[in-house]
Structure 1
Amino acid sequence: MLYLEDIKVGDRFISREYEMTLEEIKQFAQAYDPQVFHLDEDQAKNHPIFQGLAASGWHTAAVTMRLWTECFPVANGLVGSESSLRWPRPTRPGDLLHVEVEITAIAPSKSKTDRAIVTYVTQALNQHGDVLFISTTKIIVFKKEPLAG
């Protein structure tokens, strides 16, 4: 587990790969984002933006969250305070996603000396290096607890 003392600006974390299968894309869309371009390959071909079946952006975000938690194991969890998201390209069936995280800022709390707000940029990329998802997120990271004497 990582504590505030374990990280610095410029640190990078890279996840394992995760395959976005057609079946999983359709299951997620059916449950959470039932739009035709996430569910029907034939109708999706004619979509003016996607021009083919695409995973829900929220599905890509959920997989990114899973990969974050595996490659960036912050003590007490990834407790977010703010995030901005973009989906520059669609995620397609068969894409192999991996996540790259870079710490961009650390701002110690002025009122609570046991923590800081850590800002990081996350990119989810496919097997071709295309950025499918990008976010800038702020989380609360705690210092290590003092050793009991």
Structure 2
Amino acid sequence: MALYFEDLLVGYTDSFGSITVDRDEVIAFATAYDPQAFHLSDEGGAANPIFGRLAASGWHTAAMTMRMAIDHWSTIGVQSRGAAGLEELSWPKPTYPGDTLRAEAEVLEARPLTSLPDLGVLKVRTIVFNQHDQPVMRQIANLLIQRRPA
């Protein structure tokens, strides 16, 4: 089965993913890409009044979200061809080791691309929740989706 641009109408919603945040991965990601004390150690996290304990980098949360999305899209056959960027990205609550994340997405806008007629752009809002149903990430992305072949 394949889902093309024409199948993903404004208002289309989807829920997907389940990934548990691993402490060692939080530290490894932060060591490589976001080496701030509150992402690197329990002591650094405890010293930060916002987090109070070791917290995952927001970029790590975004990367885990991307993994959940790609795994899901490949399962349901979304014909993704990349993205044209983010319009919004926020982390309203921290993500902590041991959290279990899931996502909900909604198509807000859909428009064919005139410059590349075999593609369309979907503006999609994705909200990522922890196991307490608290939002830990929000984004609005412009996704490039293959149009149905003639």
TM-score of the pair, normalised by structure 1:
0.89
- The amino acid of 2:12's aligned partner reads D
C-alpha distance in structure 2 between counterparts of 1:25 and 1:111, whole Å = 40
Describe the superposition over 1:47-106 as per-residue Cα deviations: whole angstroms up to 9, x where unpaired: 12212110011100000001111223421x351112021111110010000111111110
Measure the CA separation in 2 of the matches of 1:44 and 1:115: 44
Letter in 2 for 1:44: G
Contact 1:13-1:72 at 8 Å conserved across structures:
no
Deviations 1:15-39 (A, max 9, x none): 1210001111111111211111011
1:79 aligns with 2:82: yes
- In the alignment, the residues of structure 1 paired with residue 105 and residue 134 of structure 2 have an alpha-carbon distance, to the nearest angstrom, of 15
Structure 1 Cα separation of the partners of residues 44 and 29 of structure 2: 18
Structure 2 gaps of 5+ residues are none
The letter of the residue matching 2:122 is V
CA offsets 1:128-147 (integer angstroms, 9 cap, x no match): 0111111000012221223x
Say if 1:14 and 1:71, in contact at 8 Å, map to a contact too: no
Q: Which moved more, 1:40-49 or 1:99-108?
A: 40-49
| More off after superposition, 106-115 vs 66-75 | 106-115
What's the TM-score, normalizing by structure 2? 0.89
Q: Percent identity?
A: 36
Structure 1 letter corresponding to 2:143: I
- Contact persistence 2:27–2:40 (CA under 8 A): yes
The CA RMSD over aligned residues, in Å, is: 1.5
- Aligned equivalents of 2:108, 2:118: Cα separation in 1: 20
Residue 98 (str. 1) matches residue 84 (str. 2): no
> Per the alignment, in what secondary structure is the counterpart of residue 63 of structure 2?
helix
Unaligned runs of 5+ in 1: none
